[in-house]
Structure 1
Amino acid sequence: MPLPTSIPSFDELPLQKGDPIHSAWGLWGTGPESALGSLNYLTDELVLKTMKEEVRTGERVGLNLPLDLVNPPLLGRVGFEQKVIDKHPRVINDDVITFNTQGSSQWDSLRHFAYQGDKKFYNGTTQEQIHASPRTEINSLQSWTTRNLAGRGVLIDYARYAKLHGISYEAFSAHPITVEDIEAIASEQGVKFAVGDVLFVRTGYVASYKAADQTRRELAAQGRWVGVRQGQATLEWLWKKQFAALASDCPGFEMIPHAEGEGMLHPVVLSGWGTPLGELFDLEALAVLAEKHNRWSFFFTSSPLNYTGAVASPPNATAIM
């Protein structure tokens, strides 16, 4: 669909009386494209322009953690299981895997986290609509998979910034990354944001998790982590930037537990704006490559799993420099 001729200010949200706080239901119309939310920014023209500008060396790094890395599972989720099947008498193997789609690197769909008080997902979808039959499609990831995700990624490397500036923090604690931090890092890295960017925030969580022994990983499973700070200032800044998607290497993009008096970002970002949230992305090799080239923007692609009613999916993501 054509991009909106103008984006309302944050103060103009919600767009319609009676809709949940800060929501932008209707911004992308009512047709099939509305299910894409902010992914509508990733037009063919923008993707082509980004490829020409961002792909310079051809170096590629995957952004996906192993499906079986996180153990014990976070947030009480089901862990990864694999069965390797010997198809005797033929010398052939198959395997069958079972996993929670949010157990490792993942995209959250627009049916994952509702406005809790209003009990509404993106564009007013209810839990009853989602569960009306065993496998409904409304607000699922499947609408994204027709053309997948591709565009300009921008890495904000907080872990690097903290090390350079002597900021000490625990990855498995509620350490906040503020808008002021992000702007300072962008300035140091020479990053200029553009509408339709995919914002990646490297918190250092994945690096800490990979280095942790089992005792430390059990601490991580208690559900505390570094992340972007919640609150009105963060929401207003994110809305002004109009990113196509948001992602980080921590389990929730935003820090958990959130600061007292500041509601979570998830309901507004996912169910209010239709902006995908990526979590537990592996940004370690990308950070090395970005520092090598002194360039923190890149071409990004992602191909989520394609099945009816997906709530979340491994991103199958690649950054190309």
Structure 2
Amino acid sequence: MPRPSHIPRLEELPLRPDNPPNSAWGLWGEDDKLGSLNYLTDQVVLSTIREEVRTGERVGLDLPLDHFDPPLLGRAGHTQQVINKEPLVVNDDVITFNTQCSSQWDSLRHFAYQKDKKFYNGTTQADIHCSPRTDLNSLQPWTEKGIAGRGVLIDYASWAHQQGRPSSQYCFQGFGIPIGEVKELVSDLKLDLRPGDVLFLRTGYVQAYGALTEEGRKDVAQKREWIGLAQSRETTEWLWDNQFAAVVSDSPGFECRPPIEPAWHLHPILLAGWGTPIGELFDLDRLAALCEKHQKWSFFFTSAPLNYQGAVASPPNAIAIL
């Protein structure tokens, strides 16, 4: 779908007065299925490959499906059954898992405006659950072409460590990363942010989790607090003005929990309001090391989510290529 001729300012949202606060319903059309992924046109992908791929070095961004043990937030974890196909010398395996038990994309049917009880473009729970296999606002349409474009890494964890206050000290608390510090880091890195970029925010959560003892992991599995981007009007305005195709972090929620300013809770605004996918618990540690090695914080990024009707979430199956 072509880019809208006019991108309104945040204060001009919602586009219709009866729509939820800060929503942009209709910006990409009433029947749109991609939201801000519409920015990832063939031309954007082509130019990104030409500009960003220099060495061919690549790194996977998915954590193992069984990485979080016990699983976070009371979700079902990963199980595997390896099947011996005797008398043939052959093996199969069967796995089960919650699609949000490890690295994940949230689809536009994951989180609604809670007061209005509506998802992106006005979809309701009744619409989603009117039959066993509906596909409204699922991530299956994303699989038609996959997700590909320019990624930019904001390595807040390394920056905070350099400032003498490691973010790992706050990862399992409701620490909100101030948008002012994110802007400062963007300036320090001389990052040229462009509409349609996929924003990657490394908080240090995955690295800190990897250092926990077994007892520590059990404790964290019960926590409903974590590090993430601090909510505020300024934060929301910065995200909107930059028109990211998607946002990603290595924490369980991209934004901090509990919200610093509940009125600016980003999950409903991003997913239900703007149609902007949220990636969570991505493995960004090796990517950060590669970016540091080349002193280059942008890269070509691809993701191939699972393809099935009605998907609420999916492992990203993601790769960054420098």
Q: TM-score band, normalised by the shorter chain?
A: over 0.9
Paired residue for 1:259? 260
Give the conservation status (yes or no) of the 8 Å contact 1:251–1:279. yes
Look up the equivalent residue of 1:25 and give its one-letter code. W
From 94, 97, 122, the equivalent of 1:96 is 94
Residue 297 of structure 1: aligned partner: 298
Q: Please tell me whether the aligned partners of residues 172 and 219 of structure 1 are also in contact (alpha carbons under 8 angstroms).
A: no
What is aligned with 2:141? 143
- How far apart in 1 are the matches of 2:214 and 2:236? 36
Unaligned runs of 5+ in 2: none
For residue 112 of structure 1, the aligned residue among 99, 106, 110 is: 110
Structure 1 residues 1-321: aligned runs within 5 Å: 1-31=1-31, 34-168=32-166, 169-221=169-221, 222-259=223-260, 261-321=262-322
d(CA) in 1 for partners of 2:255 and 2:299?
Answer: 23
What letter matches 2:100 in structure 1?
A: Q
Is this contact kept in 1: 2:113–2:268, CA < 8 A?
A: yes
Give me the whole-angstrom Cα distance separating, in 2, the residues matched to 1:62 and 1:189. Answer: 23
Query: What TM-score do you get using the length of structure 1 for normalisation?
Result: 0.98
Q: Do the aligned partners of 1:110 and 1:274 also contact (CA within 8 Å) in 2?
A: yes
Bigger shift: residues 304-313 or 187-196? 187-196
Q: Which residue identity lines up with residue 12 of structure 2 in the other structure?
A: E
Q: Report the residue type matching 1:242 in the other structure.
A: Q
CA drift of 1:262 comes to 4.2
3-state SS of 2:247 partner: strand
Shift of 1:260: 5.1
Amino acid aligned to 2:52 = E
Determine what percentage of the aligned residue pairs are the same residue: 61
Tell me, in whole angstroms, the C-alpha distance in 1 between the residues paired with 2:66 and 2:208.
17
**Structure 1 unpaired stretches of 5+:** none
AA aligned opposite 1:244: A
Matches of 1:159 and 1:43, distance apart in 2:
31
- 1:256 maps to a residue whose letter is R
> Equivalents in 2 of 1:261, 1:22: separation in Å?
14
Task: Provide Cα deviations, 1:181-222, integer angstroms capped at 9, x if missing partner.
Answer: 111111122211111000000000000111111111122211
| Superposition TM-score, scaled by structure 2 size | 0.97
Task: Work out whether residues 203 and 226 of structure 1, in 8 Å CA contact, stay in contact via their aligned partners in 2.
Answer: yes
Cα deviation code 1:130-176 (max 9, x no counterpart): 00111101100101000010000000000000011112432111111
> Displacement, 1:78?
0.6
CA contact (8 A) 1:176 1:229 kept: yes
Q: Is the contact between residue 231 and residue 262 of structure 2 (CA under 8 Å) also seen in structure 1?
A: no
Alpha-carbon offset, residue 223 of structure 1? 2.1
